[in-house]
Chain A
Amino acid sequence: MLKKLLTQLAFFLHSSKPYNRVKKIVSDFLLNSDYIYKKYFDIFMILLIISSVAILVYEVKHPVAPWVDFFDIYVVTTIFTLEYLARIWVHNSWHNEVVREYGDVKFLNKKFCLWSPTKRVLLDKLSYMASPTAIIDLLAILPAYRPLRVLRIFVLFRVFKLLRYTKSINQFLGVLGSKKFELYTLLFLLLFITVTAGIAIYVFEEKSNDSINSLFDALYWALITISTVGYGDISPVTPEGRVVSMLIIITGIAMISFVTSVIVSSFSEKLTELKENRLVEEINKEEDFMIICGYGQMTRMFLRHYEHEYAKRYIIIEKDKERVEEAIKEGYRAIQEDASRHDVIAKFNTDYAQVTLLAMTNSDVANIYITLNAKAISRNIRVISRASSERIAKKSRLAGADSVVMPSLIANRMLFTAITQPVMYKAVYAILTGQHLAQLDEVNTVYHQKIVGKSIKELRLKEQKLLSIGYESCKNRTFVFNPSLDYVIEEGDILLLMGRQMSINHFKETYKEIGYVHT
């Protein structure tokens, strides 16, 4: 009976949209570094930790107000407890495991055993609870238990919790982790020399030196000396002991230099990677950003004119090291990666941010591959691809490109217009290059609600030195060119106006009112 109920509960949870949505949100806040609101949660937790430690330090010499105690014992601890439980909750999904097992068992016509998936999930959760970070989380809750004063020192574990919320400390540990072998070797060497020197000084001076009464004293002296700290509370008195001192001082200096060089070299090796990761992390926090694949003449020209508009909301991905260096030298945000690789594009936050990808390499084949790669990762990525001919443009569209740019075709058309219609060329050139004299701009009813329900005539465009060129209909997104003055603008329409930037800005300001965005 209980088994049936629990199985039903698992199926219910598995199909429950609200439950899964809540779990996803909690998981994003706790674990997803690409989630744009996670940083606020992290900052909040860091502030809690700092306040808790500050209270601990303050109350060593001063009495604290009852509300401060209440805050420290109940508020901070409750939040930490909830966080600890939430982390265990989102670590894995019991219902998913049950549903999966149930499906497999039914497929094989075997008897379903609820305990088997439940045990797996519990063991997995226990294994998480035994992990160092989870233990730190648990120990950080203990200081709330006041009868045992000694537990107050566990507040320091709250400091360790900072590791969860600060990337730089994690990165530092990550870099040290990459030199694990060298550091372990040095540690063993240090232990070996310390123990050997400790035993030697114990043997030589136990009888003649009043400060050395046990092997522990000798080992303590050896460690203090080899680390070059040298408190001076214990010092050798026999010539043999002094020789040992000299030897371990020299060894200590050599070891410190060695450790420093290992850490510095590992940092310099990882520096580029760290910088690139930081760039990706930074851009993933944006709500909309642009990935530019390839740093050639086209990208250069695009950024030269429009970089200021995108500020930090773009990243260049280029395979060629020299080109990346050139881009960085120019002050652009570039990383050396291959944009046609799945993992390279997948590390961008395509779930929450509006991502535009420009496939701008010199190779048509590469651009098509990059387009396919991006679209395979997420259909939401908007791709603008470069193509050298109409045939390639067709293939790019088939690959999923939302728009295709053909530099030679555009230039040919401009040349043709310049020859056949020279007056018009000037007008078109001004419009295309967005000169102040004539801008062709869009007025979206979503952001300019006040124009909804008004006829074009009522907008008095002529008085504002504006021209109505047409509108994109909300109904079927078709473009209606040169509409009648009696046309009444509907919600969702996009009005296309021409005029000086000043006139357009004034018009937009007049009718600005944000409405609901229909999806």
Chain B
Amino acid sequence: MFTRNAFLFGYNKKRRFIARELEKEPLNLILVVDEEASYHQAKDDGFREVIFMDLTDDELLENLKINDNDYLVCVMTDHYMNVFLTLSLHSIFPQAIILALSDSPHNTQKLKMAGASRIIDLYQVSANRIHNMLHKPVATKLIERLFSPEEEFSFKEIEIPKGSSLDQVMVNDFDFSEHHVILIGMIDERLSHQFIFITSGLENRFDVGDTLVCIGYNEDLERFEQFVGL
């Protein structure tokens, strides 16, 4: 059993990928559906924890044992239901992180108002992708490869632990090329909790607790993570 739960509200063929990938993560994945067909499909697909319930019933939602740091992912096909559920979850569990899927700017706005922490607009992301394909084909191919689990290079978040050799080192003084990784940006806990791109020109210093986002070959990233931990 892991300490963190991920509740996926809504399940269908299109969401199988996200459920499968989440299953591989150190998270307890719980699928929550309000349709019998989805329930059976999820069971047939091999998911162990599937709950079939009325998602409009707040009492039933309260009984789900959701903790403050749990992920609540709203991917219902019915947009009205998705917004309503987001609102219900936000009112019952104000501290939980709610992620939602949207298919229009209007829906995105409603989900934001309903309390979703992060909203992914299906068509906006796709529209950007088409635009990038037309104007930056090489960059688009790279992004696709970075996202693909089969690729040999990817993104990685690395937190600087206590006693790390990177602690107190100025960003500009450290040569990442020696480790064959590229530092994209970081969260500097000392300055702010915001993500800062390394190309923004700020002169930062690495401190314990800062989170680095690097890209590189998987093996190099693993090696670099070990180096940061030393």
Contact = CB atoms under 8 A, between A and B. Distances in A.
B126 A410 contact: yes
Nearest to B118: A418
A415 B143 contact: no
Contacts of A479: 138, 141-142, 145
Nearest to A503: B199
Given A440-B142, A496-B139, A467 B184 contact: yes
Contacts of B166: none
B126 A405 contact: yes
A437 B184 CA distance: 11
A432 B143 contact: yes
A407 B136 contact: no
B188 to A, nearest CB: 11
Given A297-B104, A423-B187, A498-B199, A485 B177 contact: yes
Interface residues of B, number: 67
Contact of A424 (B18, B127, B132, B155): B155
B193 to A, nearest CB: 10
Contact of B124 (A301, A358, A412, A422): A301
A411 to B, nearest CB: 5
14 contacts: A306-B127, A405-B126, A410-B126, A410-B129, A418-B99, A419-B27, A419-B71, A419-B99, A424-B213, A432-B143, A442-B136, A469-B142, A482-B180, A500-B197
A494 B138 contact: yes
B120 A442 contact: no
A409 interface: yes
A427 B182 contact: no
A403 B101 CA distance: 24
Given A407-B122, A462-B172, A500-B201, 19 more contacts: A298-B123, A301-B105, A301-B121, A302-B131, A356-B134, A405-B129, A405-B133, A411-B122, A416-B17, A416-B21, A419-B27, A423-B213, A433-B125, A437-B200, A440-B143, A469-B142, A482-B153, A482-B177, A498-B199
B80 interface: no
B73 A482 contact: no
B182 A434 contact: no
A297 B132 CA distance: 18
A472 B157 CA distance: 26
Given A302-B127, A405-B126, A413-B147, A438 B199 contact: yes
A418 B22 CA distance: 11
A440 B99 contact: no
Interface in A479-506: 479, 481-482, 484-485, 494, 496, 498-500, 503
Interface size range on A against B: 35 or more
Interface in A362-402: 384, 386, 388-389
Contacts of B142: 440, 469-470, 479, 481, 496
B125 to A, nearest CB: 5
A139 interface: no
Interface of B: 6, 13-15, 17-18, 21-22, 25, 27, 71, 73, 75, 99, 101, 103-105, 118, 120-134, 136-139, 141-143, 145-147, 153, 155-157, 172, 177, 180-182, 184-185, 187, 195, 197-201, 211, 213, 215-217
Contacts, number: 188
Contacts of A494: 138
Contacts of B199: 437-438, 465-467, 498-500, 503
A176 interface: no
A441 interface: yes
B127 A411 contact: no
Contacts of B18: 412, 415-416
A341 interface: no
A433 B139 CA distance: 13
Contact of A301 (B14, B123, B155, B157): B123
Contact of B127 (A305, A437, A470, A498): A305
A418 B100 CA distance: 10
B22 A416 contact: yes
Nearest to A290: B134
B128 A433 contact: yes
Contact of B181 (A388, A389, A410, A482): A482
A455 to B, nearest CB: 13
B14 A388 contact: yes
A389 B16 CA distance: 11
A278 interface: no
Contacts of A426: 195
A421 interface: yes
Interface string A281-294: 00000000010000
A114 interface: no
A492 to B, nearest CB: 12
Contacts of A421: 155-157
A438 B201 CA distance: 12
A482 B155 CA distance: 13
A408 B129 contact: no
A430 interface: yes
Given A423-B213, A424-B155, A434 B197 contact: no
A297 B103 CA distance: 8
Contacts of B147: 413, 417
Contact of B182 (A410, A469, A499): A469
B122 A408 contact: yes
Contact of A467 (B155, B156, B182): B182
Interface in A423-466: 423-428, 430-434, 437-438, 440-442, 462, 465-466
B124 A427 contact: no
B118 A500 contact: no
Contacts of B136: 440-442
CB-CB nearest 3 A-B residue pairs: A302-B127, A499-B199, A301-B123
A504 to B, nearest CB: 9
B223 to A, nearest CB: 14
A423 B133 contact: no
Most buried by A among B139, B147, B177: B139
Nearest to A408: B14
Contact of B15 (A412, A440, A496): A412
A432 B172 CA distance: 26
B213 A427 contact: yes
A501 B133 CA distance: 18
Contacts of A470: 142
A412 B195 contact: no
Contacts of B153: 481-482
Contact of A482 (B182, B195, B200): B182
